[in-house]
Amino acid sequence: MSLLKNWTSPFKLRDKGIIGMNRRNIRYIGRYNKRHLYPLVDDKLKTKLLAQKYGITSPQLIGTVSTQFGVKHIGDMLHGHGGFAIKPAKGSGGKGILIIERVEDDEFIKPSGARLSIEDIERHVSNILSGLYSLGGAPDVAMLETLINFEESLLAFTYEGVPDIRVIVFKGYPVMAMMRLSTAASDGKANLHQGAVGVGLNIATGAALRGVQFDRPCYTHPDTGHDLASLVVPQWDTLLHLAAGCYEMTGLGYLGTDMVLDRHHGPMLLELNARPGLAIQMTNGEGLRRRLDLIEQQPEGVPVAQRVAFAQKHFARRSELVSDEPTVTHA
Amino acid sequence: MSRLPFYLIVGLLLVAGIAASVHRHIQFEIPWLPGEQRQVWEVEAVINFNAQGGPVEVNLALPTHQTGYRVLTENTASSGYGLAYQGDERGRRAQWTIRNAAGNQQLYYSVQMLVSPEARAPIQAPPQLTSSPWERPYDTAATQLIERAWARSANNMTFARELIRDINGEAQGENARLLLTQEAPSALIVRLLNQADVQAREVSGLLLEDGRRRQPLTTWIQVFDETAETWSIFNPVTGEQGRPENLLLWEMGGRAVLEVQGGTNSRVSFSMMTHHQPASAAVRNHHSDDTLLNFSIHSLPLEEQALFQTILLIPIGALVVVFLRVLVGIKTSGTFMPVLIALAFIQTSLLTGLIGFLLVVAVGLVIRSYLSHLNLLLVARVSAVIITVIAIISIFSVLAYRMGLNAGLTITFFPMIILSWTIERMSILWEEEGPKQVLIQGGGSLLTAVIAFLAMNNSLVRHITFNFLGVQLILMALILLLGNYTGYRLLELRRFKPITEDEQTR
């Protein structure tokens, strides 16, 4: 019996509405995501241009570099900008992203305090162009964006890195959301399997439902010690509207949207994912199945505001973190 | 979206596959199980030469009944040639003749040899001793070699062994080197044995290994044991006495294996494969009527058959991969890399293969980690890894051979390009996700490869896939069905366990 204690039965999973890889691939990605639409989300530059066209806020584009010849002019391009980020358009998993917090006397200062010269910046851009960070080593384009000023109320919940919000959008309805908080264990990265804390969010309010680190429940941020129960994402409605609008923008039926909150500009779209993972079910303590089934019964062509309202009404939940004495005691 | 066409296709495949298999079973009496059967070797000799535009006469030595093997049937394919079998006390030969031939010519001879441990060679009288005198200064060298070996031996057998060691072994002396300038090693050994009044001859044999193609004959030395009145076989390189289990003697009369008159560039190469036949059918020859329904790999030339024996196993490997990934959820690096590794394991044997694979990948990862410092473009980097892998494999082969581990030589069967990509992928994985993921995916790949190997190396599976082509349709149907599976993977029952836990506490 002890051998089986780490295992559960498929019937229990089905009762909870948990979706497995196979079901996600066949029933949702295979059926709702048309292959020819993938490049729209796999190339961040295309996503960004599309987002601008559809009025979806995203970090402002300073410029792009697509030829090694253009690398020499990068200094002029950056002139007058304070902080900025350089990203490979086809990078994945946060690879090749260089953040410059501010510029002092021709020196570029990273958040860690390290100083880079313009030559260092040029070498980094040149590496991006030659495909060092792109999938399969294909030649790539470097994107230069203005820096995001993170919402201060959320900074207490993260260690070093960027807290980002993942919303699963199914047929245009936001169905489930979580926030990923980087920790010392995850080395400042927001990857759940590397030890970042995942916080399930109430679709109705943007308040935390429950926290999970390494698949186990957790109630405070392991590094900052901040109580997760007090976490509420500001401007939640705007964020949901943005996320839901990505359906019209891409045409992808089963979509993972990654958002961040800017101090001045509010929610912004960071990137899209046509094959979002299933860990969001762990952070919410709930399977996607029932929500997806409900959405599949809804008619097509419903406007964004109505879809968001529908989701907020049907997917509201009570937090497991606050005032629910029995759940706290078992920690 | 109706799934009806899908299930229709799957059903059709299943029915067609089962029907074809049952048809073969009933019509050709091919049993479902490989048991209660006799092993039969099919050996095919291909003679290649360039005819010079005139009359051609080709003379090929043929195998006869011998210890361990019995000739079942033989066939030739040679359009336009006259054919005659000739036999005398020194062996059998086939003679092809044609009045006029030009250009590249191919003649086929294939024979089925039944493995029967009780088979004995016909009694053969020892040949006349032929002794040709040596010229000076070779005569003294020869005499000295004989005397040295003679002094260290007790009878004909030990004398032959010592002589072989003196000529081919590490203790090779000046005399031996001098004589080797005049004769090939095995011919020299036989000549010296004859000179010392020991009856001996050179024979040509074929080492039988399943599925080998384009194999040459190897030379062996037979020495006549006067007390036991039998021939003993010696390995002319190591001096080892005794007949290897899988040695089929092809030519025993001390004559040339192939003689071609009227042609140039003649050579003969052999392909072979083994299969099992029911003891009763083993004697019968059922090549006779190949209709369309008898759509069988057995109607192909032997060389292609041997190739297909391996090819037809690949779907089994693919099924194992699909099963492990879709139903179990094992992560592998490179989807079908494990199948190719498993194919290599079939050649190398499991343990040697595992050790070899781990050695190559481990050393490759170390070298690749240095390459990543050089900031190379992908194609150049992988090419560099390929060269590294080839270098590692060469070094390991030489080292293994030096240390006397012949099994180490089989490391060359590994698909080098695939290994290079494996190293490249694992190295990237290491940099991005850390060594733990490398162990998980590397271990998953190896586990898949081992399971695929066990499935593909199983004699029942080999028997079924090779003899019943309909099974391929059944495999196809199974894989299609698996591709439609939306349930949980086995490992997801573990992954999602924490969610079900709170349910109970509430």
C-alpha B83/C-alpha B43 separation (Å) is 19
Q: How far apart are CA B15 and CA B21, in angstroms?
A: 10
Q: Is the minimum CB–CB distance between B254 and chain A shorter than 8 Å?
A: no
Q: Between residues A320 and A235, which one has the greater pLDDT?
A: A235
Q: Which amino acid is at A214?
A: F
Query: What pLDDT score was predicted for residue A167?
Result: 93
Query: Nearest 5 degrees, angle CA B212-CA B217-CA B220?
Result: 125
Contacting residues for B49 by C-beta, under 8 A, at least 6 apart: B58, B104, B105, B260, B263, B264, B265, B266, B267
* Residue (of A110, A113, A88) closest to A99 by Cα position: A110
Do B498 and A12 count as a contact with CB atoms less than 8 A apart? no
Q: Hey, are the CB atoms on A327 and B505 less than 8 Å from each other?
A: yes
The nearest CA of chain A is from the CA of B327 a distance in Å of 9
pLDDT at res. A10: 85
Token pair listed for B318: 């693919």
- Whole-angstrom distance, CA of residue A188 vs CA of residue B389: 36
Q: Do the strands A98-100 and B91-98 form a parallel or antiparallel pair, or are they unpaired?
A: unpaired
Rg over CA atoms, chain A? 21
Measured between alpha carbons, how far is B223 from B243 in angstroms, rounded to an integer? 12
Share above pLDDT 70 across residues of chain B, in percent, rounded to a whole number:
89
Angle CA B64–B70–B74, to nearest 5: 65
ipTM: 0.77
User: pLDDT class for B504, splitting at 50, 70, 90?
Assistant: very low
Tell me whether residues A20 and B487 touch, CB distance under 8 A. yes
Q: What pLDDT digit, counting tens, does each position of B248-296 carry?
A: 888 887 788 888 888 888 888 888 888 776 654 544 444 444 455 455 6
Interface check for B499 against chain A (CB to CB < 8 A): the answer is yes
Cβ under 8 Å to A: B residues 374-403: 375, 377-379
Comparing C-alpha atoms, which of B462, B447, B151, B433 is closest to residue B313?
Answer: B462
> What pLDDT shows up at residue B247?
87
Higher pLDDT, A206 or B79: A206
Q: What is the model's pLDDT at position B62? A: 87
* Tokens, residue B63: 């195998």
Whether B496 contacts chain A with CB within 8 A: yes
State which residue of chain A sits closest to B492, comparing Cα positions: A20
Q: Is the pTM of this model over 0.80?
A: no
pLDDT at B505 over 50: no
Work out the pLDDT band at A213, boundaries 50, 70, 90.
confident
pLDDT of residue B294: 54
Label residue B104 exposed, middle or buried (CB < 10 Å: 0-12, 13-18, 19+): exposed
Looking at residue B127, its pLDDT comes to 65
Return the structure tokens found at B102. 């030009």
The two three-digit tokens of residue B370, written as one number: 């240095």
CB contact under 8 A, B502 and A127: no
- The span from the CA of B501 to the CA of A7, in Å, is 10
Radius of gyration (C-alpha) of chain B in whole angstroms: 29
CA-nearest residue to B424 within chain A is: A136
Name B273's Cβ contacts closer than 8 Å, sequence gap at least 6: B41, B42, B210, B211, B212, B302, B305, B306, B309
Considering only CB atoms, which chain A residues are within 8 Å of B504? none
Of B433, B367, B439, which Cα lies nearest the Cα of A95? B433
Residue of B nearest to A9 (CA): B493
Task: Give whichever of A12-16, A28-32, A93-97, B31-35 has the largest mean pLDDT.
Answer: A28-32
| Residue B180: exposure state from Cβ atoms within 10 A (0-12, 13-18, ≥19) | middle
Q: Which amino acid is at B4?
A: L
Contact across the interface for A13 and B494, Cβ inside 8 Å? no
The string of DSSP letters for B6-75 reads HHHHHHHHHHHHHHHHHHHHHHH---SSS-SEEEEEEEEEEEEEEEESS-EEEEEEE--SBTTEEEEEEE
User: Domain map of chain B by residue range?
Assistant: 310-494
Q: In what order do the strands lie in the sheet with A173-181?
A: A216-218, A208-213, A197-201, A173-181, A164-170, A254-262, A266-273
User: What is the 3-state secondary structure of B223-269?
Assistant: EEECCCCEEEEECCCCCCECCCCCEEEEECCCCCCEEEECEEEEEEE
Contact between B489 and A20 using a beta-carbon 8 Å cutoff: yes
What average pLDDT does this structure show over A61-77?
84
Lowest mean pLDDT: which of B98-102, B145-149, B437-441, B496-500? B496-500
Q: What is the dihedral of CA B327, B330, B335, B337, to 10 degrees?
A: -120
Contact A20 B502 (CB under 8 A): no
d(CA B224, CA B102): 44
Tell me: the pLDDT tens digits for B196-207? 888 888 888 888
Find residue B74's DSSP bridge partners: B111
| Nearest beta carbon to residue B498 from set A136, A215, A286 | A215
Percentage above 90 pLDDT, chain B: 11
Question: Nearest Cα to A315, choosing from A202, A220, A209, A195?
Answer: A202
Give CA angle at A21 (A17, A25), nearest 5°. 105
Using CA atoms, how far apart are residues A5 and A280, in angstroms rounded to an integer? 23
Q: Is residue B218 within 8 Å of B265, Cβ to Cβ?
A: no
pLDDT at B189 over 90: no
Lowest-confidence region among A21-25, A36-40, A141-145, B32-36 = B32-36
A221/chain B closest Cα distance in angstroms: 19
pLDDT band at A3 (very low <50, low <70, confident <90, very high): low
The least confident of A225-234, B261-270, B403-412 is B403-412
Task: Say what the pLDDT of residue B183 is.
Answer: 80
Q: Is the pLDDT of residue B65 over 60?
A: yes
**Residue A187's pLDDT is what?**
67
